[in-house]
A = this chain, B = another copy of it.
Amino acid sequence: MSGESLRKGEQTQARILDAAYDLFMAQGYHGTSMRQIAERADLTLGGVYNHFASKEDIWVAVLLERHPYRAVMPLLRTAEGDTAEAFVRNAAQRLVGELSKRKDLLHLMFIELIEFNGAHIPTLYAHIAPELLPLFDVVSARAAGLRPLSLPVLARSFLGFFFSYYVTEALMPPVLRALMGDDALDAFIDIYLHGVLADGVARGELQGATTWRSEAEMHRENPLESAQSATSSFC
């Protein structure tokens, strides 16, 4: 019962981080107490302090160990597709797929931003910087099919565009999300690849091409009734 197994203390430490992660995600940092962490880790309050000196130390450990880059970067690094379009499609689907499976991933960063004003972000980036650069190489290998945008612009627009898929998922009124249907991601990818303008169209099939004009006209016909029905479905 030794050798490859973790030492007792390391197991407990991992249990504390597990408990803290779950609670932070559900209630935020200030909304979570040390007593809750201790109880969920099957430990007494005092016992926790044998492994972490403070509550904030627990947060930093959680942040460094569970930050979303850790989960997202391998997905992007191994994305498939020879052409730029196929690669972007695959990478976007992987990214959003993972984000929607694990809605907590970005949550961690938002807690850091909101409750700490990003005070630990420099520490975080110092921790993951070595993993960032190989990612650039993957993108640059497919650069031939892309317009000559700068690498930071590309990275930021790609991540931002599909991160926003997650954010709007949470922020949008349910009734609007329902109108969007299940192929919303395909429509997002399409916009990212080809833009919203109609000028250079005729690039093949367009998913998400619905009867939206008639919807809008319906709104114009009787805006008040639409507003009221929308209002009621919000609640």
Contact = CB atoms under 8 A, between A and B. Distances in A.
B213 A133 contact: no
Contacts of A84: 196-198
Interface in A18-63: 26-31
Contacts of A148: 206, 209-210, 212
Number of copies: 2
Nearest to A145: B198
Contacts of A113: 110, 170-171
Interface string A147-174: 1111111111111110111011011110
A30 to B, nearest CB: 4
A170 to B, nearest CB: 6
A75 interface: no
Interface string A190-202: 0111111111110
Given A117-B26, A192-B195, A198-B84, A156 B168 contact: yes
A106 to B, nearest CB: 9
Given A85-B197, A197-B145, A160 B167 contact: yes
Given A137-B216, A226-B133, A159 B168 contact: yes
7 contacts: A85-B199, A110-B114, A149-B212, A151-B179, A157-B187, A195-B195, A200-B203
Interface of A: 26-31, 84-85, 88, 107, 109-111, 113-115, 117-118, 121-123, 125-126, 129-130, 132-134, 136-137, 139-140, 143-161, 163-165, 167-168, 170-173, 176-177, 179-181, 184, 187-188, 191-201, 203, 206, 208-210, 212-213, 215-217, 219-220, 223, 226-227, 230-231, 234-235
